Chains A and B, each alone.
Chain A
């Protein structure tokens, strides 16, 4: 078995961009949870970090929108956002094209993922990396699920993508850590930013923690949009990560609403 870590965390740009506007105690507690994720990933001996993200039009647009895409390069760059706004400096991030190729090849046995030999990170990956690999010394394999431009891949397909990721990770000798990043309920980048449906979030996180496939796949996109906002579509990244955990239960290290960060912020990892 070479999947050595599987977890999820939030990625909202406010986590870094608006850090000074958050309740300091809450922010620092969340940051400490992210740092625990960093330590756990380091302790796992991971040789690569696969990020299942929900990018926000940094690479993919409605002219050729893949439901799934995986990076296959030796180097990536980001963030695309104004660095002073996001408060993360632009940098190059190492990849591993050979490892990516082997992972993608195995995933393609069951999922028709796209791949890309170039990739610009936005806050969806750059914010988690800022905490999880702050020295950018761990090769990253970016993966994306389209959660932004409908029509979106069904939740059940996101589950199958996660299963394929697990199979692919287990088929290579390298130790791989997997982190899914997304929001639960949120109405990001709209005048409603900061609106959070805590009840809906708690229900989803209960299903997620129990790795309850049936319940996690029971949401329709109409339900999600109504109760969790357009940002809620990003639960696909959590669902794929849960599928990759292959039935394992999750430990939630942090789960509290931080409105200036636009969502209920989460750190959780599976008991692999």
Chain B
């Protein structure tokens, strides 16, 4: 596990247009600057938002990365839920989902 470096590459992508370009043009060379596992590299490349969430990426970092990929809000939330279904609970960090199988809709009611 190298959550620190996984988050760090996302932090660098999120805040720097030049790093964003490198990510798009030559992701492998960019990733060589960080200690990443193959699972993390693949999740970054796809991008696999659900797996990145399960690996413990801070939601604030992940949200900005999803926005960079033009992922709509409802889709972003669903991708995280799908990640948990596929890979299990969030493994690290403080952004774990608290209520399994529920959605918090605009009127404040909980919808299963």
Which residues of A are at the interface with B, using a C-beta cutoff of 8 A?
13-14, 17-18, 21-23, 56-59, 61-63, 80-82, 84-86, 120, 122, 148-150, 187-196, 225, 229-230, 257, 259-260
| Given known A-B contacts A57-B14, A80-B14, A225-B94, A196 and B108 have beta carbons under 8 A apart | yes
Which residues of B are at the interface with A, using a C-beta cutoff of 8 A?
4, 7-8, 11, 14-15, 53, 58-64, 67-68, 70, 73, 77, 80-81, 84, 94-99, 103-108
| Given known A-B contacts A18-B73, A82-B67, A259-B105, A192 and B97 have beta carbons under 8 A apart | yes
| Given known A-B contacts A23-B106, A81-B67, A257-B108, A195 and B60 have beta carbons under 8 A apart | no
* Residue pair B11, A57 in contact (C-beta under 8 Å): yes
* Residue pair B15, A259 in contact (C-beta under 8 Å): no
* Residue pair B80, A190 in contact (C-beta under 8 Å): yes
Partner of A187, one of B58, B61, B64, B98: B98
| Given known A-B contacts A82-B70, A190-B80, A191-B84, A61 and B104 have beta carbons under 8 A apart | no
Residue numbers in A under 8 Å from B7 (CB-CB): 57, 61-62
* Residue pair A190, B59 in contact (C-beta under 8 Å): yes
Kindly name the residue among B61, B63, B80 whose own CB sees the greatest number of chain A CB atoms within 10 A. B63
| Given known A-B contacts A58-B14, A82-B68, A193-B77, A148 and B99 have beta carbons under 8 A apart | no
| Given known A-B contacts A58-B15, A150-B94, A17 and B73 have beta carbons under 8 A apart | yes
CA distance A61 to B73 in the complex (A): 24
Query: For residue A194, which residue of chain B has the nearest CB?
Result: B104
Question: Interface majority SS on B: helix, strand, loop or mixed?
Answer: helix
* Residue pair B98, A189 in contact (C-beta under 8 Å): no
CA distance A257 to B104 in the complex (A): 12
CA distance A62 to B64 in the complex (A): 17
* Residue pair A61, B11 in contact (C-beta under 8 Å): yes
Residue numbers in A under 8 Å from B4 (CB-CB): 62
CA distance A38 to B92 in the complex (A): 40
| Given known A-B contacts A57-B58, A85-B70, A189-B62, A120 and B15 have beta carbons under 8 A apart | yes
Closest 9 CB pairs of A and B: A189-B59, A194-B104, A56-B60, A189-B63, A85-B67, A195-B104, A82-B67, A230-B94, A191-B97
Shortest beta-carbon distance from A129 to chain B in Å? 18
Residue numbers in A under 8 Å from B94 (CB-CB): 150, 225, 230
